[in-house]
Chain A
Amino acid sequence: DGGITQSPKYLFRKEGQNVTLSCEQNLNHDAMYWYRQDPGQGLRLIYYSQIVNDFQKGDIAEGYSVSREKKESFPLTVTSAQKNPTAFYLCASIGQGAIGQPQHFGDGTRLSIL
């Protein structure tokens, strides 16, 4: 079945460590997104990519980095510069076609600081 796979489901980060969250989709979608959600809060956009080898900063990009070398993959690195990384991270994608396509989500990754 087509879908978005995020891994790992749970991740722990030590102080000063960079960690990478994986997001893979087999939906042949062009656009991919990373969001952060804190408890009781809404989704905040970190980065998004509309095509391969191109990406744009969202509202809270500081302390994060991404790459989009393949259409299927959009990994997110949480760097040591992100001082408060504990959150629920959600990856999403949108298909081709006219504006009006909804986003599809992976199951999310919960990141905590050790």
Chain B
Amino acid sequence: RKEVEQDPGPFNVPEGATVAFNCTYSNSASQSFFWYRQDCRKEPKLLMSVYSSGNEDGRFTAQLNRASQYISLLIRDSKLSDSATYLCVVNAGNNRKLIWGLGTSLAVNP
């Protein structure tokens, strides 16, 4: 089993749709979790950290399920500008080495 797994997609959705991505991780000792977005030929940029109680930032909601070892990202009211690759990142236990998923590609269509 890969350390961090994501559905590569692509997810093609119309503007205004709600879309959700899941990411599973294998290391039960992982303590920190993040979602990044990466635009084509650019560096990844932090979208949001994921907290145990779940957290929301505008149209984006992140959740953590430790029992099932997955995190999720929900995007409401999708915009064209949300088109990107969304990367799930998990720390490798108690150090600062981060494990990156391969990303989920999202295309929001007019």
Contact = CB atoms under 8 A, between A and B. Distances in A.
B89 to A, nearest CB: 8
* Interchain residue pairs A-B with the least CB separation, the first 3: A42-B102, A105-B43, A100-B32
B96 A42 contact: no
Interface string B67-110: 00000000000000000000101010011111011110000000
Given A99-B91, A99-B94, A88 B41 contact: yes
- Most chain A CB within 10 A, of B41, B42, B98, is at B98
- Most chain B CB within 10 A, of A50, A88, A105, is at A105
Contact of B100 (A43, A48, A88, A106): A43
Interface of B: 31-32, 34, 36, 41-46, 49, 87, 89, 91, 94-98, 100-103
Contacts of B32: 99-101
Interface of B is mostly: loop
Interface of A: 31, 33, 35, 41-43, 45, 48, 50, 88, 90, 94, 99-108
A94 B43 contact: no
Nearest to A30: B96
A43 to B, nearest CB: 4
B31 A100 contact: yes
B96 A106 contact: no
A31 B46 contact: no
Contacts of B31: 99-100
A87 B50 CA distance: 30
